[in-house]
């Protein structure tokens, strides 16, 4: 806008200067011959049109110009002032400047604005192109600067993602000596500490598992003898004095509980080593649930409703699947309530088995830890058990490419969801 005003002002000033030069040559007496001499002299230095109006005649430098083309606001008789007005002459924008000459003669000079308009349009195009190039250059420079600035940040994100994915050896290059170099050094120090801590925790966990397996193996032989002796004692309970009978019953029960605990520990040790890979085969979920319900190992104190779709099959090892279902159903019976409902369906590449009890559900603080080894919630401590059943069920599922999760059912009670691949998923 400022450039446009500047160019217009220069155009008008230049036009007024031309008018002053022309008026210096204006004849004292205006007639046809004197006007012709003025026109010839003026056209030699200007392309503007000219109309002279005397009291009794009108002279024009071009047949295309005449008195009707003079703007009305410039027709001021007896005025000695110079005036200017913008008008349209023959469809062209024109600047008309009036000057008073000798002997009541008025001179009107017609300057075409089209050349100025073309110049302004060219100026606008140049300004637009310059602006576009400036913006593009600024954007390119900004992108280069942004990439150079954010490249170290992207490196931090990539290394952090690698560490989160399990690559604890990932580190940042600490080549620069600026703030990013200090950040890289601090980040690498933190990663070293985290790696060391994780390695210590893994070592502790491994020693714990080895200790558990060793203890279970050492206890297996003597516990077998204790259980055998307890079985004999159980057959003689009715022959014992009444005062000793209760103690003998407790001894028999605790011997069996200790045997179960040792067997579960040995099972976990075997799962930890993954010594026996799963030999999967197609199995009907409904048939597997029925087989577990009929098993004497399941403590049936409530009704189990087997509503699994008869057509749903899973790819699993029979013994492992029955072990998972037995542990989940036993948990639902002991810690939940009647009835316990089993359903099965397909969901993507998996067969999904839901076991829902009618108890009070799972406390929020127990949901994340319920599958931890030896973990027992406050409500479940009075029911006995080793706290290993759910951990064993989850590990058996993971060995076979599946998973087990726990949540509260919308209609009440706890819901344990077992996912296993189905034979048609591949």
* Residue found by looking up tokens 């699947």 in the block: 321
* Residue found by looking up tokens 């790696």 in the block: 195
Residue 290: name the closest of 326, 255, 320 by CA.
326
For 170-187, b where at least 16 C-beta lie within 10 A, e where not — what string?
bbbeeeeeeebeebbeeb
pLDDT higher than 60, residue 172: yes
Beta bridge partners of 316: 281
The pLDDT of residue 381 is 47
Give Cα 119 to chain centroid, integer Å. Answer: 51
- Collapsing DSSP to helix, strand or coil, 137 comes out as helix
Where in the chain is CATH 3.30.450?
Answer: 2-112
The CATH architecture to which 281-421 belongs is: 2-Layer Sandwich (3.30)
Where in the chain is CATH 1.10.287?
Answer: 179-273
Q: Omega before 339 cis (within 30°)?
A: yes
Assigned fold of 2-112? Beta-Lactamase (3.30.450)
pTM: 0.49
Listed in sequence order, the residues at least 6 apart from 84 whose beta carbon sits closer than 8 Å to its beta carbon are 12, 15, 16, 74, 95, 96, 97, 98
Pick the CATH number of 179-273 from 1.10.287, 3.90.1530, 1.10.10, 1.10.4160: 1.10.287
pLDDT higher than 80, residue 395: yes
Residue 396: name the closest of 414, 377, 419 by CA.
419
C-alpha span between 66 and 398 (Å, rounded)? 102
Least confident of 12-16, 66-70, 123-127, 194-198: 123-127
Task: Give the CA distances from residue 262 to residues 224, 259, 372, in Å, rounded to whole numbers and listed in that order.
Answer: 10, 5, 17
Q: What is the mean pLDDT of residues 385-396?
A: 77
The pLDDT of residue 125 is 67
CB atoms within 10 A of CB 43: 14
The pLDDT of residue 348 is 86
Where in the chain is CATH 3.30.565.10?
Answer: 281-421
């Amino acid at each position: 806008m400022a450039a446009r005003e500047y160019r217009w002002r220069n155009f008008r000033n230049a036009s007024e200067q031309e008018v002053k030069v022309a008026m210096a040559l204006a004849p004292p007496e205006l007639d046809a011959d004197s006007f012709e001499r003025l026109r010839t002299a003026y056209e030699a230095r200007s392309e503007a049109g000219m109309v002279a109006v005397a009291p009794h005649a009108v002279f024009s430098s071009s047949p295309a110009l005449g008195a009707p083309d003079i703007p009305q606001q410039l027709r001021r008789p007896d005025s000695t002032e110079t005036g200017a007005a913008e008008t349209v002459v023959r469809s062209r924008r024109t600047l008309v400047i009036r000057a008073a000459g000798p002997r009541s003669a008025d001179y009107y000079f017609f300057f075409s604005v089209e050349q100025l308009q073309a110049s302004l349009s060219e100026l606008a195009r140049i300004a637009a192109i310059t602006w576009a190039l400036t913006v593009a250059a600024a954007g390119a420079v900004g992108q280069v600067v942004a990439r150079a600035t954010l490249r170290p940040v992207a490196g931090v994100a990539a290394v952090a993602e690698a560490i989160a994915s399990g690559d604890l050896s990932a580190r940042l290059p600490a080549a620069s000596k600026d703030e990013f170099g200090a950040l890289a050094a601090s980040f690498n120090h933190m990663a070293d500490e985290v790696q060391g801590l994780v390695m210590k925790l893994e070592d502790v966990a491994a020693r714990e598992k080895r200790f558990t397996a060793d203890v279970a193996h050492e206890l297996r032989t003597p516990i077998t003898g204790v259980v055998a002796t307890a079985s004999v004692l159980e057959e003689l309970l009715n022959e014992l004095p009444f005062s000793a009978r209760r103690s003998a019953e407790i001894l028999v029960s605790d011997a069996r509980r200790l045997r179960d605990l040792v067997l579960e520990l040995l099972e976990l040790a075997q799962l930890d080593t993954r010594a026996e890979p799963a030999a999967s085969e197609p199995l009907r979920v409904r048939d597997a649930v029925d087989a577990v319900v009929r098993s004497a190992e399941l403590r049936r104190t409530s009704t189990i409703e087997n509503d699994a779709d008869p057509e749903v099959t899973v790819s699993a090892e029979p013994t492992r699947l029955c072990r998972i279902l037995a542990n989940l159903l036993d948990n639902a019976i002991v810690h939940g309530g009647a009835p316990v409902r089993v359903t099965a369906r397909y969901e993507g590449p998996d067969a999904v088995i839901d076991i829902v009890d009618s108890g009070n559900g799972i406390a929020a603080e127990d949901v994340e830890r319920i599958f931890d080894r030896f973990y027992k919630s406050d409500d479940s401590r009075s029911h006995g058990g080793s706290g290993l059943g759910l951990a064993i069920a989850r590990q058996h599922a993971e060995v076979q490419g599946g998973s087990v999760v726990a949540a509260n059912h919308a209609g009440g009670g706890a819901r344990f969801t077992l996912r296993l691949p189905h034979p048609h998923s591949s």
